Amino acid sequence: QVTLRESGPALVKPTQTLTLTCSFSGFSLSTNGMCVSWIRQPPGKALEWLARIDWDGDKFYNTSLKTRLIISKVTSKNQVVLTMTNMDPVDTATYYCARIVVASGSYLFDYWGQGALVTVSS
Amino acid sequence: EIVLTQSPGTLSLSPGERATLSCRASQSVSSSYLGWYQQKPGQAPRLLIYGASSRATGIPERFSGSGSGTDFTLTISRLEPEDFAVYYCQQYGTSPPGFTFGQGTKLEIK
């Protein structure tokens, strides 16, 4: 059974750095074709992809946020960590992590965490 | 970066009717890289369609995807009460590598 769970602070101040952890079970990020991504959704708005880390350690970022994001994995702990620097109120959103399976040439976001609401306010 | 534009923004239909949702890309997208997701209030998105036309595991046959190039469609043949939700299309681009989502179509009960 595949599960993912996001954890981190619910409230951060402007200019602070946000650190979110995705803890997962039911799969290994060392398995060929497995990836984990972070996606966010401001209240009432659309989904925005943030970053992805692959089974082989490759990392990819949203080009418009690239300078503020770092994604990393701790394979032994089944965790993926996202840090976002210089937080601003516009970064207030629900942050999701999701498993991606590369299959048949497609990228399937097939399992998602329940999401973590992060509010940026002084 | 490829931009996905979904239409309509809101679709009002009754249970039993057919729903047709559109996703248009600003440039050609490989069909392999086009997916559709359903999101209900307070829930995470759920994968419906990948590779433009392949149903994900457990997705009912009333959901189907089609299209190629810049125009893609999600069709729900006969709406069930549980189908009223927001639907997003998503694409994977290779240059630069990354994903983008459309702005969503809200399917509401008429």
In the predicted structure, residue A58 carries a pLDDT above the cut 90: yes
Rounded Cα–Cα distance for residues B86 and B93 (Å): 23
In the predicted structure, residue A54 carries a pLDDT above the cut 90: yes
pLDDT the model gives residue A105:
87
Rounded Cα–Cα distance for residues A117 and B2 (Å): 28
Do A107 and B101 make contact, defined as CB atoms within 8 angstroms? no
Tokens of A19: 């650190």
Least Cα separation, residue B53 to chain A (angstroms): 11
Whether residue A59 lies within 8 A of chain B, CB to CB, comes out as no
pLDDT the model gives residue B7:
97
Do A108 and B35 make contact, defined as CB atoms within 8 angstroms? yes
Q: Which position has the token pair 């997208």? A: B29
Burial of A122 (0-12, 13-18, 19+ CB in 10 A): exposed
pLDDT the model gives residue B11:
98
- Average pLDDT along chain B: 97
In the predicted structure, residue A112 carries a pLDDT above the cut 90: yes
In the predicted structure, residue B94 carries a pLDDT above the cut 90: no
pLDDT the model gives residue B36:
98
pLDDT the model gives residue B96:
85
Whether residue A37 lies within 8 A of chain B, CB to CB, comes out as yes
Share of chain A above pLDDT 70, in %: 100
Do B101 and A48 make contact, defined as CB atoms within 8 angstroms? yes
CB pairs under 8 A between A and B: 67
pLDDT the model gives residue B69:
97
Q: What is the largest CA-CA distance in chain B?
A: 41
Tens of pLDDT, residues B50-75: 999 999 999 999 999 999 999 999 99
Do B99 and A105 make contact, defined as CB atoms within 8 angstroms? no
Which residue from B minimizes the CA distance to A62?
Answer: B98
In the predicted structure, residue A49 carries a pLDDT above the cut 90: yes
Q: Which position has the token pair 């086009």? A: B34
Tokens of A85: 């620097």
Rounded Cα–Cα distance for residues A29 and A15 (Å): 32
Least Cα separation, residue A115 to chain B (angstroms): 7
Give the CA-trace dihedral at A58, A62, A68, A73, to 10 degrees.
-30
Mean pLDDT of B7-11: 98
pLDDT the model gives residue B12:
98
Kindly list the residues from chain B whose CB atom is less than 8 angstroms away from the CB atom of residue A113: 44
Instruction: Pick the closest to residue A99 from A6, A21, A4 (CA basis).
Output: A4
pLDDT the model gives residue B99:
96
